[in-house]
Structure 1
Amino acid sequence: MQERECLLPCRRRCKVDKRKILACAVVTVLAGGFLEAFQIQEAYYSEREKRITFIAPNGDPGYWTRIAEEIVKAAETDGMDVKCVSFREPEPVKQVEAVESAIWSGVDGIITAGIKDTPDVKRVIAQAEEAGIPVVLVDTDMEGSRRSCYVGADNYAAGKQAGRDMTAACKASGNILVIVSNMDNCNQIQRVKGFQEIMEENAGMEIADILEGNSNEIYIRDEVVRILEEHPEINGIFCAEGYGTLCMGRLKSEAAKKYDTVKLVGFDGDIYVQEFLKNGLIDVNIQQDTEGLGRQAAQMLKQAMDEQRKYEDCYVEIVCLQPENYEEMSRYGDGEAIWHIY
């Protein structure tokens, strides 16, 4: 009897111990689950806290705002916050200050454009990369900079396409005025280079002059009027950027058929350019895929932040729009973005 009395309590103790062990196991599993949940939540908020700055030459409602809108959409999908910065006038000094400000504020990544190829801009890009802040250049690359990636058109190929379109418009016989923002911009250099190559392949085509408009519509307009008066043999104008395209569309629209014989090939544009295209004032407009440009820029920056390495150039599609398919340009209409303008 004593042995049984002794054994029974032991069995009870064993049962109690098993229950305790089971309870401890459940608590451990639950605790592990909560820990995992907290880790996931912490990682989520860590992702949400990533901040990027997009620095554009200007905040016009067309081209750059469309790009900004797509950058914001793509970044928010990946849990990143975006600050969009632009300038009243696209000046390298302001761009340098904006990049430095982004570095000092501790952003995780920067998207900007090679507004003008200067040593100071290259210096701050290198400074950002050295601080572990990847820089993605859009629209305009900057040769020799230490940026992580370039996203935009293959501007050399786009220039060649413009040359072919101009040759067709002029029926292989033309004296062409080329309008650029300035020849310090890598994209302008490459577009003109490609255009020039096609001109040289066609004996009846040549570049009469190159006008650097510095993205100043009033200056471009005045200079074009002067040049066309002094050189009536010019029968074609290639605008290698959006300001020139908009300016020439307006000039032809207001000139009451004075310049109807002058063929016009433009590059990028907005709803006004679409109207000029519809009315036959622009013969061909080469348009970059701004949706893809903004989206891919944000995606490539995210990769660069995660992997901390360099990437090959990422080219976006270009589309040749003519009066016959002008409606396709509606997809490149005005965008929406909140700008910090300096």
Structure 2
Amino acid sequence: MPVRPKLKSISVLRRPAEVVLIGRPYELTHLADEDGAVTTLLQVLAQGSRTVAELPTAMRERGFDVTEEEMAAAVEALDQAGVLLRADGDADLDDATLRRHASNLRFYDLYSDLRRTSAGFHRAMATADVLLLGAGGMGSGVLQSLIGLGVGRIRLVDCDVVEEKNLARQFAYGHADVGRNKVDAARDWAARYSPGTTVVDTVHERVSDADTVRRLGAGASLVVSAIDSPDDIQLIVNEACFDLGVPFVTAGLLYSTIFYWSVEPGVSPCRLCLELNREDQGATMPHLAEQTVAVSGEFVNRATGPVAQLLAGFVTLEAARYLTRTDPPVAAATYHTFDLVDGMRTTVDAWPRHPGCPLCHRSPEA
């Protein structure tokens, strides 16, 4: 079926001898338009009712004599500028999906074009299978966001029970859930919130080694690590994800700083690379070896509800980039940090691949 190009929901300003397309904030596209032909074409494309072959007739009706070749070139240029989508891009989705995921589909419009449709991005999410390690503050928030996005299957793993203190920041649970296994309470919340859209498989188990992650993650599309023990859990998940061949995303809170990052095995530097780079750096600073811990601070959980939601949001957005490939992941081998007590100061720090990393060395892509 011939494609019917449609102008995205953007603003178009008419100025003397030009038009300005306003898409994303601070992103303006200026097009020369001496005679008004471009403005007219954009008005026709906003209707989304004509194929490229039908555009010359529509333009002639408005006083502009153009050829199909000229219209094809104009449409291609506008598509390259990122302002067009397919008018029938959602046509193969059922009514229930269109209603449930209306805002998600319009979000995907930001990345769609005449080849990739918003419905296609949604289907990628709907067929995804995510292993979610942890159902605490961040994990339960990620669960909620993934279900809202319509991910097809979530394997939820946690070994804890709901406690009253959890209710300050873990919004998948209520007072009636206190004392229950978190995974069971979270599964029941999902069934009430969005029946029929996401399969939530639950595992009440502690993750302690890479073999466990490999077993739980067999066939998964992506892993989200929302647990903080044992101490080397991120290295454990990193190793397992290399064997599974899937990316993973994680985040956390350190004193007053929240952070998130991800790893795509064989594509980005991995978490072990960071560890090896740190060891090399430490070897150049012998005075660090002379330091001893005089007072070991007690562990304090400062993750309030807003903090947990921020972490869950950043992690889920990064996970969605991997699952749908709307655009490249922004946190692959890159720490994104936000200091909560320093004016929300943000930093972005990437780490390089380590030449001696045994995991990256065995990956052909690396």
Tell me whether the two structures share a fold, i.e. TM-score over 0.5: no
**Is the radius of gyration larger for structure 1 or structure 2?**
1
Tell me the TM-score normalized by structure 1: 0.29
Tell me the TM-score normalized by structure 2: 0.27
Quick check: which one's helix share is greater? 1
